[in-house]
Amino acid sequence: MARDNVTSLDVARRAGVSQSAVSRVFTPGASVSQSMTDRVLAAATELGYRPNVLARTMITGKSRLIGLVIAYLDNQFYPEILEKLSTSLQQRGYHVLVFMAQQTAGNIDDVLEEIMDYQVDGIVLASVAMSSVLAERCDAAGIPVVLFNRAEQQDRFSTVTSDNFAGGRALADFLVAGGHRRIAYIAGWEGASTQRDREAGFRAGLAAHGCELFARGVGDFLTEQAAKAAREMFAGDDIPDAVFVANDHMAFAVLEVLRGELGLGVPEDVSVVGYDDVQLAGWPSFDLTTIRQPSNAMVMETVSALLAQIEEGASRPQRVKIDGPLVVRGSARRPYGWKEDGDEGV
């Protein structure tokens, strides 16, 4: 029998089961015994049968595809998230389609039509701004949306973030406790909720100690912009003695400028702290003190919120904030009596 002509009915006859049993075996999450599964899969393998996913989509109205819109992959945090999201969704019988877009809301509209063409069952926006056009289209099409590592002022969609405000405040407490007084900040893209919340928490923490920002630059979450901001910030004689860089991706560029170009000692002359705790942060060449984004918990909450809408019809948006610990390494001067390298806590 030619493989192209093999149907589920042929598999059912070979396995000695009903056609509906074959369908259940190939339907993710369906209830079926292990012995039945083994018989059906053995018959399918022998006949060279694979289910027609596109045909099933037309019948059920469900593609079991999730559109993941992501702004950039050069930041090490996002390839990790892509892997974890894909793995988690695959375990639940879904597959991820990745769409690249810039972090500004206007650019999302450019990929909107493509996303809709694939008839995805849900959308995850990772560090991408939600446009009003996309919101209206998704509402009209009944497509659930979860914002990952971004939040919005309205309660239209579920959002999952670390507690960026608390993380920023913890870094302020740490730097002040370390004796720093000329404390600076290099911001990310100013349209991002993560940027706003981290800076707000940082400023609030400084204010609680009677301090304010000594200097401020903008890196837009881009390494080249962060390097430029660092050069400008440290160009004069009266320079910061500490700087919080709004994510690790930019902090690595700042460290390179301070050490490699300007010949400053880190942390002898200036302490540098970041946010995310990507894998490179722990490398000896960076040894970056940073707030750890709890990526496993964030992915778990994202998948849970998305599938609650897809499979259970949940309509109430969830706003999830997850605490992330301060990981202390060698890039920042420690307060007296602080813990050893890599220890967590404030």
pLDDT of amino acid 52:
63
d(CA 295, CA 280): 15
Digits of tens for pLDDT over the chain (346 positions)? Answer: 455 578 888 888 888 988 888 878 877 667 888 888 888 889 888 888 877 655 555 455 567 899 998 877 888 999 999 999 999 999 888 989 988 876 554 556 667 767 777 788 999 988 776 666 667 777 777 889 899 998 876 677 889 999 999 999 999 999 999 999 999 999 999 988 999 999 999 999 999 999 999 999 999 999 999 999 999 999 988 999 999 999 999 999 999 999 999 999 999 999 999 999 999 999 999 999 999 999 999 999 999 999 999 988 877 888 999 999 999 999 999 998 776 545 555 4
pLDDT of amino acid 70:
87
pLDDT of amino acid 200:
98
Residues of the chain with CATH 1.10.260.40: 3-51
Does the domain at 61-163+294-322 match CATH 1.10.150.20? Answer given as no
Q: Please report, for residues 44, 52, 54, 101, 328, the alpha-carbon distance to residue 7 in angstroms, rounded to integers and kept in the order given.
A: 9, 9, 14, 40, 59
pLDDT of amino acid 130:
66
- Who contacts 263 (Cβ-Cβ below 8 Å, separation ≥6)? none
pLDDT of amino acid 36:
87
Six-digit token pair at 240?
């910061």
- Who contacts 67 (Cβ-Cβ below 8 Å, separation ≥6)? 96, 97, 99, 115, 118, 120, 122, 123, 124
d(CA 74, CA 63): 30
pLDDT of amino acid 346:
46
Residues of the chain with CATH 3.40.50.2300: 61-163+294-322, 164-293
Taking a C-beta distance cutoff of 8 angstroms, is the pair 254, 227 a contact? yes
pLDDT of amino acid 189:
92
Buried b (16+ CB within 10 A) or exposed e, 215-252: bebbbbbbbebbbbbbeebbeeeebbbbbbbbbbbbbb
d(CA 221, CA 199): 13
How many CA atoms does the CB half-sphere of 249 hold within 13 Å? Answer: 18
pLDDT of amino acid 255:
98
Select from 328, 274, 313 the least CA-distant residue to 164.
274
Q: Say if strands 271-276 and 215-218 run parallel, antiparallel, or are unpaired.
A: unpaired
Taking a C-beta distance cutoff of 8 angstroms, is the pair 176, 209 a contact? yes
Kindly report the CATH number that applies to the domain delimited by 3-51.
1.10.260.40
CATH architecture of 164-293: 3-Layer(aba) Sandwich (3.40)
Looking at the DSSP bridge assignments, the partners of residue 124 are 68, 146
pLDDT of amino acid 343:
58
Looking at the DSSP bridge assignments, the partners of residue 319 are 159
